[in-house]
């Protein structure tokens, strides 16, 4: 753990990711989600000579932690920004490999003041980039009942979505949402105790996931971002993506499949007339899941999946 920032460094699927990137020592790489820089450090250790690593994060605290962890590496360029904007942030650069380790870091989850955790009472913020956008409290206080229902359903498969949204509107009419416990209370009032299942974890887990994804706009721009990132690869370069839940994994899987087989001709057409050619191949052996040992050491790795696409 870093002395100054309190960052835990337990990079998920670490060896598997470095292998998937097929690193070349003089390559140019992009870590689109540098976080505590565990993966970035692994990449930098494999590079030498005329090489570079560009590392983005939308969270300034993550960039501070990364800067503390990587002072010895002059090849690293740390940039505050969203990988959805990578094309504008890094114009004209062609990469040998790009990594996305999606979602929130352990540090963000464990820092009570950030509002990601349903275990601590804290201001309901949940923004990865605290310099812009609505906080989770603002979002819950201003979003329509229908849109809250939709987010709970789309971003967390919450089967009590409509009821939770209704209770949120009732509660906010009395007093605006301010803290994490306000959201925990809304879920507690909405989901009958008799139907709660122990194997599904904390009842507020799904609502917190959905609100976090909505506030940080994690899912809707992902498809376009993956297409941009593939465009930024050199031929033969690889895009590796680690996901942590089925909704995000489905977007990555479908985007990679579409780039592998973009043809939109009718299935019974004798020849392709749409002219859309494959952009990537999908190397064998993916998705990769963590080993039992890794899950024992780091239970948060449990739901991780690594996928990889190689530009043709
Ligand atoms: C799971 S952590 C990455 C951990 C990192 N691989 C390591 O080894 O420490 C995810 C990080 O990605 C950042 N992040 C999530 N979505 C992002 C986005 N769209 N653009 C830039 N950073 C993002 C988060 O702020 C967080 O720091």
Q: What is the DSSP string of the chain?
A: --TTT------TTHHHHHHHTT--TT-EEEES--TTSHHHHHHHHT--SS-EEEEEES-HHHHHHHHHH-TT-TTEEEEES-GGGHHHHSTT--EEEEEEE-S--HHHHH-GGGS--TTS--B----SSTTSS--HHHHHHHS-HHHHHHHHHHHH--TTHHHHHHHHHHHHHHS---BHHHHHHHHHHHS-GGG--GGG--TTHHHHHHHHHHHHT-STTHHHHHHHHHHTEEEEEEEEEEESSHHHHHHHHHHHHHHH----S-TT-SS--S-PPP-EE--TT-SB---HHHHHH-GGGTT-EEEEEEE-
What's the pTM?
Answer: 0.95
- Residue 71's pLDDT is 86
CA distance 200 to 198: 5
CA 290 / ligand 1 centre spacing (Å): 19
Superfamily of domain 14-103+220-311 in CATH is Vaccinia Virus protein VP39 (3.40.50.150)
Cβ pair 169, 186 in contact under 8 A:
no
Rg of the chain, C-alpha, whole Å: 21
- What phi, psi does 242 have (nearest 5°)? -105, 125
- Which of the residues in the chain have pLDDT under 50? 1-5
CA distance 248 to 213: 10
Interior CA angle at 20 toward 19 and 21, to 5°?
A: 90
Which atom number of ligand 1 is nearest to the Cα of residue 34? 5
CA distance 29 to 44: 9
Residue bearing the CA closest to ligand 1, atom 22: 57
CA 164 / ligand 1 centre spacing (Å): 29
Q: Out of 1.10.150.170, 1.10.10.10, 3.30.43.10, 3.30.200.20, which CATH number does the structure's domain 124-216 have?
A: 1.10.150.170
The residue count for the chain: 312
- Sequence ranges of the chain with CATH classification 3.40.50.150: 14-103+220-311
- Sequence ranges of the chain with CATH classification 1.10.150.170: 124-216
Residue bearing the CA closest to ligand 1, atom 9: 36
- Residue 3's pLDDT is 40
Cβ pair 187, 159 in contact under 8 A:
no
- Residues with C-beta less than 6 Å from any ligand 1 atom: 9, 11, 32-33, 35-39, 56-59, 62, 82-84, 101, 103-105, 128
Q: What is the pLDDT of residues 169-209, one digit of tens each?
A: 999 999 999 999 999 999 999 999 888 887 778 999 999 99
- Residue 7's pLDDT is 55
- Residue 198's pLDDT is 79
Q: Best mutation site among 85, 128, 219 for ligand 1, i.e. most ligand atoms within 8 A of its Cβ? A: 128
CA 216 / ligand 1 centre spacing (Å): 12
Residue bearing the CA closest to ligand 1, atom 1: 105
Packing angle, helices 222-231 and 246-260, rounded to 10: 40
258 Cβ neighbours under 8 A, 6+ residues apart: none
């Amino acid at each position: 753990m870093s002395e100054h920032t309190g960052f835990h460094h337990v990079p998920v699927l670490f060896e598997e990711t470095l292998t998937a990137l097929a690193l070349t020592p003089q390559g140019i790489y992009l870590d689109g989600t540098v976080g505590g820089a565990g993966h970035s450090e692994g990449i930098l250790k494999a590079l030498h000579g005329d090489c570079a690593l560009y590392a983005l994060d939308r969270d300034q605290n993550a960039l501070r932690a990364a800067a503390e962890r990587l002072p010895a590496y002059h090849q690293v360029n740390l940039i505050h920004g969203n990988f959805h904007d990578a094309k504008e942030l890094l114009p004209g650069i062609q990469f040998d490999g790009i990594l996305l380790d999606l979602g929130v870091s352990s540090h963000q989850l464990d820092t009570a003041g950030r509002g990601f955790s349903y275990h601590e009472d804290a201001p309901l913020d949940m923004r990865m980039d605290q310099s812009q956008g609505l906080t989770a409290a603002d979002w819950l206080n201003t979003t329509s009942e229908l849109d809250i229902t939709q987010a709970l359903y789309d971003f967390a498969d919450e089967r009590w979505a409509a009821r939770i949204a209704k209770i949120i509107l009732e509660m906010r009419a009395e007093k605006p949402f301010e803290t994490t416990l306000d959201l925990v209370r809304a879920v507690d009032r909405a989901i009958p105790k008799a139907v709660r299942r122990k194997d599904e974890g904390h009842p507020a887990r799904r609502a917190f996931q959905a609100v976090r994804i909505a506030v940080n706009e994690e899912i809707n721009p992902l498809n376009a971002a993956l297409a941009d990132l593939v465009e930024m690869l050199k031929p033969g370069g690889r895009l590796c993506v680690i996901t942590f839940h089925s909704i995000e994994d489905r977007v990555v899987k479908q985007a990679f499949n579409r780039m592998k087989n973009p043809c939109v001709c009718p299935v019974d057409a004798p020849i392709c007339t749409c002219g859309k050619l494959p952009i990537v191949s999908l190397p064998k052996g993916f998705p990769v899941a963590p080993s039992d040992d890794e899950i024992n050491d780091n239970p948060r790795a449990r739901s991780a999946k690594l996928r990889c696409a190689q530009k043709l």
